Chains A and B, each alone.
Chain A
């Protein structure tokens, strides 16, 4: 059953069909929120809000884009709204990035040598320090759930602009990594 058919079922009064849509797209929606917020708990919370909002506004879905793109555009706006909140920024400033780093350290395989692990950790740190627009574009592309054109449509910006942001992010990172190499 396609996404469009599930949408029609939900519109016909079957909320269980929306659960199937959530199951299909929850990873992409969650990662989009994670790319913006950089925090697992906040990303989960915003993804939940996005799905509820999408359900309530399902009558506004016209089918111009895919259901996944439409949902990512919703979670994108919600995540940006949360990131702009002063309280959220203050909380992020006081908390450390130890959570993500500890998880990533645990995922290192025995084959990873120490130097590679240090390099990857340094790149992660540089990615976090990128300007938000560049970092968002780079991380959303790395997630691989949507093409750059679809991501640009979800962010309501031209595809060339999105591609330029990804390219700019890579160039900045390479400039900073030259001394490491």
Chain B
């Protein structure tokens, strides 16, 4: 097989790969799409708008939840304890009777208020609601006496130490 035969073979194979005809409906399909040029653009636009609106709503909801709306908490507390006017009175209620505080959460320290988004918010239980916890009446403790043997102290016996008397000699003028 020479070069010419190889060229013919290549031409024939390439032609078989490419010599296809489009379907007869191509012109009609194109004409139909041209008459309705933006039919598919509208649903895309709608879906895109819906997705954007959903994302916006979710973002707003998360932002509102993270804001820790003090006003709403205070408003809720105000509704629950209508007579309370000051925050200190709200968080330290006094229960008449046995003198025990039914339940009150310590107010958040000032440092915690400086970071309101992350600090846990105190939950205030209304004081005008009847407490379901019974008051405790502890019994007096009985301390049994413990009998211990008296401690014996022994006197230490120290032997007398005999020492020679010291003699003080006067210093001489010379150093011999």
Interface residues of A in 28-56 (CB under 8 A from B): 29-31, 34-35, 38, 40, 43-44, 47-48, 51-52, 55-56
> Shortest distance in angstroms between A17's beta carbon and chain B's nearest beta carbon?
11
- In which size bucket is the chain B interface? 20 to 34
Q: A120-B12, A120-B13 are in contact. Are A48 and B21 (CB under 8 A)?
A: no
Task: Determine the distance from Cα of A15 to Cα of B27 in the docked complex, in whole angstroms.
Answer: 12
Query: A160-181 vs B: 1/0 string, CB under 8 Å?
Result: 0000000000100110010001
Query: B57-72 vs A: 1/0 string, CB under 8 Å?
Result: 0000000000000000
Say yes or no: A26 contacts B10, CB within 8 Å.
no
Task: Determine the distance from Cα of A55 to Cα of B14 in the docked complex, in whole angstroms.
Answer: 31
Interface residues of B in 1-38 (CB under 8 A from A): 1, 3, 5-7, 9-23, 26-27, 29-31, 33-35, 37
Interface residues, chain A, with chain B CB atoms under 8 Å away: 15-16, 18-19, 22-23, 26-27, 29-31, 34-35, 38, 40, 43-44, 47-48, 51-52, 55-56, 100, 104, 107, 119-121, 123-124, 127-128, 138-143, 170, 173-174, 177, 181
Could you give 26 example pairs across A and B, Cβ below 8 Å?
A19-B27, A19-B30, A22-B30, A23-B27, A26-B26, A31-B19, A43-B20, A44-B23, A48-B29, A48-B33, A51-B26, A52-B33, A52-B37, A56-B37, A119-B9, A120-B16, A123-B9, A123-B12, A138-B14, A142-B11, A143-B19, A173-B6, A174-B3, A174-B10, A177-B6, A181-B1
